[in-house]
Each structure stands twice: as C-alpha cells, then as structure tokens.
Amino acid sequence: MELFVDSADVAEIRELAETGLVAGVTTNPTLIARTGRPLFEVLEEICRLVPGPVSAEVTATDADAMVAEGRRLAAVAANIVVKLPLTWEGLKACRRLETEGIRTNVTLCFSPAQALLAARAGASYVSPFVGRLDDVGEEGMGLVADILTIFRNYRDSLRTRVLAASIRHVQHVVEAARLGADIATVPPAVLRQLVRHPLTDLGLERFLADWRKTGQRIL
Ligand code: E4P
C-alpha cells in the first residue's frame, strides 16, 4: 500500500517528503483554507516537492464548470490529479476529464454503490472516507473492504485505485493495508506516529548504552 500525505502545509510536506516515503499528496478546500495562502502558489510548491500524484479539488458544482476548473488545476503541473465530489455532476466531469487524459480522484465516497459509479466513470482514484463514517457510528473500514471486494470481481476491466481517506489513526492505516487498499492518505501527525513504538525507543537506548561501554566506534 502506498502512503500519501493528506495536507496542504508545504513545510510539513517538505519534511515528510525528505524521508522518500511519500508517494503522493491529497489536498481539499478545507486544507487549503487552513494554510491561509493562495491555492495555486501552494499547489505549485507541493508539486515541486512531491513528484507523485497531487490531488487538487474543484469547487464548482456543475459538470461544465468542474471541467473548466479541472483543466485549470491540471495546468499547474503534470502530477496534478483533479479531485471531484461524488455527485452526478462530478461523475460527468470525471468521465470528460479522464477522456482528455486528466487524471481524477473522486472524493467524498461513502458507499460501495458510489464507488462503483466512480469506477464506471473512469476515475483514476476513488476516496472512501473512513473516519467520517466512524464519526457517525458506521464502520468506515467496512466500506473500504466492500469496495475492494467489488473491484476485485472486475479487476480486468476496472483500473480505479482505492485510496483510503479520512484516516484518523495508526490502526486505520494498518487495517487499510491488511485489506489491500492501494493507497492510504494520511495526515502528517498520523504518518509520524506510524514509526513510533516504545519498545523501539527502549531497545535503542539499551543497545547504545551497551555500545558506549565497549569504548569502540564504527567511524
Ligand atoms: C481526502 O482526500 C481528504 O482530504 C481527507 O482524507 C479528509 O479527511 P477528514 O475527514 O479528516 O477531513
């Protein structure tokens, strides 16, 4: 499973991208608003930092305007993926942009039926929102499992990748990988948390203490 960063904070993305572990980035209007910066400036900087797919979301609600916005967003860099909401208009725009060779990420997916439609519209990615389903008492990861099961039935004809989104904690990431999601887009704090384990810290502390006692150096 690939790991994307779910953020529009350029400093955070830069730091995480330096690990070489970040395969892509997802943004949304809320994340852009949080930066307080101009959209295109932020997108250009992110696309320079991360060569993988960078999702940028349209804000229009009818297909014609979504397509126009999508073309404008895609002009920022070759690695832009246009994010479209899972509505009839979003699906129409998805089909049109994909036909033009512009990759799309159909977002705000909350049901397997919606995911099937996104795949039939030719989306490059579909984003089931795990945490937001959990928030309303549903099992968000169950949606990821259902989508993967359905897509596997048609693996020869469907090329849409499943991008687990609205990830809130480490266990979400682990479970998405266990199920076989293609990608998880992870907030920076959760991404940093993935590496942490108290036994790693304790083990390292002990190894280094014992090594110091030998008085030796490697270099
Ligand atoms: C995905 O592309 C979205 O930007 C994101 O995962 C939404 O997460 P949230 O539900 O934590 O806002």
pLDDT digits (tens, 9 = 90+) for 81-126: 999 999 999 999 999 999 999 999 999 999 999 999 999 999 999 9
Are 73 and 80 in contact, with CB atoms under 8 Å apart? yes
Query: Which one from 83, 96, 103, 161 is the annotated catalytic residue?
Result: 83
User: Using a 6 Å cutoff on CB, does residue 104 contact ligand 1?
Assistant: no
What's the one-letter identity of residue 76?
Answer: V
125 secondary structure, DSSP code: E
Q: How far apart, in whole angstroms, are the C-alpha atoms of residue 7 and residue 4?
A: 9
**pLDDT grade, residue 156 (50/70/90)?**
confident
* Span 136-154, pLDDT tens digits: 999 999 999 999 999 999 9
The domain defined by 2-214 folds into TIM Barrel (3.20.20)
Among protein residues, the one whose CA lies closest to atom 9 of ligand 1: 166
Atom of ligand 1 nearest to the CA of 83: 2
> Which residues, 6+ apart, have CB-to-CB distance to 170 below 8 Å?
190, 193, 194
Q: How many CA atoms lie within 13 A of 121 on its CB side?
A: 30
92 catalytic? Reply is no
The strand pair at 2-6 and 183-186 is best described as parallel
Distances (CA, A) of 100 to 73, 94, 96, 128: 14, 10, 6, 25
Q: State the distance from the centre of ligand 1 to the C-alpha of 82, rounded, in angstroms.
A: 15
